[in-house]
Amino acid sequence: MNTAPELQQLLSAQTLWHAGRGSAKEGVEGQSTGHPALDGLLPQGGWPRRALTELLLPADGVGELQLLLPTLARLSQAGAAVAVIAPPYLPYAPAWQAAGVSLQHLQLIDAAPRDALWAFEQCLRSGACAAVLGWPKQADAQALRRLQVAADTGQCLGFALRDRKHAANPSPAALRLEAVREGHATQWQVRKCRGGPAPSQAFALRAG
What residues are paired with 134 via a beta bridge?
A: 160
Backbone Cα Rg of the chain = 16
- Distance CA(191)–CA(19), nearest Å, equals 28
* pLDDT confidence of residue 8: 59
- The SS3 assignment for 75 reads helix
Per-residue pLDDT reduced to its tens digit, 62-79: 999 999 999 999 999 999
Q: Which residues of 171-189 are buried (b: 16+ CB within 10 A; e: fewer)?
A: bbbbbbbbbbeeeeebbbb
pLDDT higher for 16 or 143? 143
Q: What is the pTM of this model?
A: 0.86
Are 131 and 55 in contact by the 8 Å Cβ rule? The answer is: no
Query: Positive or negative CA dihedral for 168, 173, 174, 175?
Result: negative
- Per-residue pLDDT band for 130 (boundaries 50, 70, 90) equals very high
Q: Tens of pLDDT along 163-176?
A: 999 998 989 999 99
Average pLDDT, the chain: 87
